[in-house]
Amino acid sequence: MKKGQNWEKNLKSPQRIRRTIILTLCALWALCEKSQKLSANMKNSLKIELNMNRIEILKFRSALLNEIRQWFIQEGYTEVTTPLCVPYCSGEAYIEPYSVEFRDDRKNTYSGYLISSPEMYMKRLLAEGFKKIFQICPCYRSGESFTSPLHNPEFTMVEWYQMECDLNQSIKITKNLFDHAKQFAQHFFPEKNKNQELSGSDKSLSKFSVQELFNAWTNIDFSKFDTWNDICNAATKKGYPPGLSPDNAFYTIFLNEIEPHFDKNTPFFVYNYPEFQAAWAKCISIGRLQYGCRYELYYNGVELANGYEELCSSQDQKKRFNNDQKIRDIEGRPVYEPDSEFIECVDKISGSSGTALGFDRLAMLLCGASAIQDVIAFPAGKLFK
């Protein structure tokens, strides 16, 4: 990456160091706050006291996985298998991939990555003509905590994509899957049929836009913003550290002032995130601002799923990839090469939506465990000491 591509590259060294320190401290502060609140929420909200042993929990995990697979098949999805070791990583700004190196029979050496999601290759299958596909597979992310109740470097992802499916339709599909899984857990544990936490599906669909949540709990009105940089000023006025980026300002406010109000007993969706939170979702204009057509599913205070109405412009996809590499470069982290075949296929998936659901988190919540390590046979913390 050439010098001068981004104004932040031209900052003098002390300024860059100061900015990096500020952003790092703010990020750590927000994460600590979330971790403390999550631990309290887990203790207070997970009321399903199932006295199960390790074998019973792992049997439930297996049965739930099979039930989800059958649900997709009955809904007309085709199960696909894409590679776990690939030549290009997603290159997203805040996801660190596992790098691998191996040799063939002729002793030629190759470098690659373990996938953080099967997304890129599943979208390539959509571009080839598949209409409804799903995959259940292991994914890998470096830099994950070995002890966090919600993280493990290797985890199981349920991911699905569908053509001719907008954001609202995608949310309904995810709600139907969640309700089915919840009912299955109820029948798997018949002695807990009367337990309020597993009392079947909720017929209503609860969903809130990010703008509605900020209006309700922070008195910050996005409609008054000229640009997304205004959220930085709003954070400063609330007493948060000055100098935050829009991304850090958003999450600092969201984690501290909005998430604590989430209903712990009802699944609900948050949608239409700010443009800088769009990731690979398409964007729409609301007032003077751009929003990503993206949603997250929350249950018991835990983020379970993340879905997009997909970006369908290879030009925009490449631009976002390059922006992510600029962020990585500024922060002194590895910069990656794009997967040109993936970027080119994006033009062919117009009108599609996709969702990724953390299976370990779902199994944890539905069996009443307190951490995903309880539903993983061999979590990293027990393997690497």
Which tens digits make up the pLDDT trace of 102-156? Answer: 999 999 999 999 999 999 999 999 999 999 999 999 999 999 999 999 999 999 9
Share of the chain above pLDDT 90, in %: 80
The domain tally of the chain equals 1
Per-chain mean pLDDT for the chain: 88
pLDDT of res. 203: 61
In a domain, 343, yes or no: yes
pLDDT of residue 254: 96
Domain of residue 258, residue span: 7-383
The tens digit of pLDDT for each residue in 258-279 reads: 999 998 888 999 999 999 999 9
CATH number at residue 95: 3.30.930.10
Helices (H) and strands (E) in the chain, counts: 11, 12
CA pair distance 384, 144, nearest whole angstrom: 13
* Alpha carbons 30 and 28: distance in angstroms, whole number: 5
Among 102, 65, 68, 77, residue whose Cα is nearest residue 87: 102
Helix H or strand E segment including 137: strand 132-140
Query: Does residue 19 sit within a domain?
Result: yes
Q: Is the pLDDT of residue 21 over 50?
A: no
Of 17-21, 97-101, 381-385, the poorest mean pLDDT is in 17-21
User: Does 2 reside within a domain?
Assistant: no
Q: What is the mean pLDDT of residues 288-311?
A: 97
Q: How far is CA 332 from CA 14, 319, 326, 365, 375, in A?
A: 15, 20, 10, 37, 36
Query: Residue 159, SS3?
Result: strand
In this prediction the pTM is 0.85
- Has residue 221 got a pLDDT over 50? yes
In this prediction, residue 284 has a pLDDT band, given cuts at 50, 70 and 90, of very high
Q: What is the pLDDT of residue 175?
A: 97
Does residue 315 lie in a domain region? Answer: yes
Looking at per-residue confidence, does 24 or 60 come out higher? 60
H helix runs in the chain, sequence order: 13-45, 54-74, 119-128, 167-188, 210-218, 230-237, 246-253, 314-330, 340-345, 359-367, 380-383
Closest CA to 303 of 357, 232, 246, 226: 357
Confidence at 25, pLDDT banded by 50, 70, 90 = very low
Residue-level pLDDT at 9 = 38
Distance, CA of 364 to CA of 301 (rounded, Å): 13
What pLDDT sits at residue 50? 45
Residue 124 lies in a domain: yes
d(CA 262, CA 299): 9
Confidence of residue 194 (pLDDT cuts 50, 70, 90): very low
Q: Which of the two residues, 95 and 200, has the higher pLDDT score?
A: 95
Least confident residue range of 33-42, 167-176, 197-206: 33-42
pLDDT of residue 385: 84
As given in the structure block, the two tokens for residue 60 are 């439930």
| Residue 1 belongs to a domain | no
Does the pLDDT at position 200 exceed 80?
Answer: no
